Amino acid sequence: MRGVAFVLLITFLFCGCGSSSTANGENTLGAANSSPNTTDSQNSDSPTSSPLTTFEAAISDHEDFQNQEPDSDSNEKNASKEIATSLVTESAKDSNFEAGALVPGVTFLNLSGILTTDLEQWAEVAENKMASQNARVLTVLYNIGGNLGPEDPDRFAGFPFTPNEVLLTKRQIDDLMAGIEDWLRSDPCMGHIEQRNHLRNELRQYRVWLEEGADTSTQRALCEETRFVMMAFESGGPIWDLQRFLVHELYHAFQQDLEGDCNETIDRRGRGDHVPVVVEGAAEYFTFFTAGELYNDPDPVSTMLKEAKTATTLDQSDDVMGSGMATRAAALVRLMIERGQLDHQSIIDGSFFHNCQRSKLDGSNPEFLYAMDNWNQIKREGTEWKFTASALAGNP
């Protein structure tokens, strides 16, 4: 198992007894060690704790808050700071970082209706696929209500999110923001004084997303080894869809060269559609295989190609940047693999994103251009979907 070896959880306002379900089905979250064999009150310093640590803010349910008198802003802010659980890793004892230091692994702040233990299990499957995993990943999940309008980048600082009914209370949002800030300030990169303005801007952005009900589905490469994932979704959807959603976003967090020198290399070579096609295509390719493993898909390649081909009928376009772009791009990745131009295992284990190999997949690469033009040459034979013989044998 990979990731955080140990986390000590401190400053906990309510019961330190883990995650439970209230009578109305809502999660009441407590600070919990993620190891299934320990509780934080009994074995908080056990070296065998799960690497996928759960960082959960203690949140009261909607009915409790509705029955309370509203606090003043200062009281709410102080209460949120108390509720937010501080994280200090064992390795911080030997660190020069004064506030402690987080180590690689996936941390959840979960205000959705999905059990955190399920999220941890799915994340562990994804993380264990990696050849190496050096990122500290904070993953925030929450539920939203019905859609209130189309994508509104102006409303969401350039991000193509839609506004939706806000289900979280103001107190829950404050508590969640306090938890996010606490984690980021404990991070070796984002916690440094040089990142103060960066941190402030990120937090301001996250609050807008929460307060405006954004349907967030994003991974933020805050530093080379610090990643932030935020996911919003309506409750009641199929579990397999949420498994895909989580695995896809976590793969982005595991793509090591999304931040740093590789971006400078790509800037010099010139940006274009090829950049998101490679990044999104690889993440979705990984998702079909890994999430498919979670819900027992016997033929993830066929499923991928079927969904990619179906997408072209929805908008009558064979452009890889059309609707369902990530799935179309995954088919492009598969075509390059079947033609011997990419290695399947390097996509699955993330090593393709260790040394900026992605920078070579651009307009100067004839094989990549061929795949851009022919990814859609897909046919059905019986129950199986596959590339046509001409797509596999054609010359770039």
The per-residue pLDDT for range 306-326, each reduced to its tens digit, is 999 999 999 999 999 999 999
State the Cα–Cα distance between residues 394 and 294, nearest whole angstrom: 35
Please say which residue of 202, 237, 254 terminates a domain. 254
Would you call 135 helix, strand, or coil by DSSP? coil
Assess whether 198 and 279 both reside in one domain: no
Considering 236, 254, 272, which residue would you say is the last residue of a domain? Answer: 254
Is residue 374 a part of any domain in this protein?
A: yes
Note whether 318 and 243 are same-domain residues: no
Total structural domains in the chain? 2
Rounded to whole angstroms, the Cα distance separating 6 from 329 reads: 38
Q: What is the pLDDT of residue 248?
A: 97
Please report the pLDDT score of residue 144 as a whole number: 98
Sign of the dihedral through C-alpha 309, 311, 312, 317: negative
Query: Does a structural domain hold residue 2?
Result: no
Pair 208, 300 in one domain: no
Full DSSP string of 325-384: HHHHHHHHHHHHHHTTSS-HHHHHTSGGGTTTGGGGSSTT-HHHHHHHHHTT-EEEETTE
Any domain includes 86: yes
Rounded Cα distance between 308 and 300, Å, is 12
> What does the alpha-carbon distance between residue 227 and residue 377 come to, in Å, rounded to a whole number?
36
Q: Indicate if 245 and 307 belong to the same structural domain.
A: no
Whether residues 41 and 133 share a domain: the answer is yes
Domain that holds residue 292: 262-393
Pair 275, 230 in one domain: no
Q: Specify whether 225 is located in the same domain as 278.
A: no
Q: Give yes or no: residues 49 and 196 share one domain.
A: yes
Q: What is the greatest pairwise CA distance in the chain?
A: 71
Q: What is the pLDDT of residue 101?
A: 57
Exposure string for 107-120, b = 16+ CB within 10 A, e = fewer: bbbbbbbbebbebb
Residues 271 and 192 in one domain: no
Q: Give the integer Cα–Cα distance in Å for 126 and 255.
A: 12
Domain final residue pick, 203, 238, 254 = 254
Q: Residue 27 has what pLDDT?
A: 38
Do 12 and 86 meet the contact criterion of CB atoms below 8 Å apart? no
Query: Would you state the pLDDT for residue 140?
Result: 98
In the predicted model, residues of the chain with pLDDT beneath 50 are 1-100
- Establish if 1 belongs to a structural domain: no
State whether 122 and 54 are in the same domain.
yes
**Domain match, 267 and 198 both:** no
Same domain, 347 and 246: no
Amino acid at 256: Q
pTM, two decimals, is 0.78
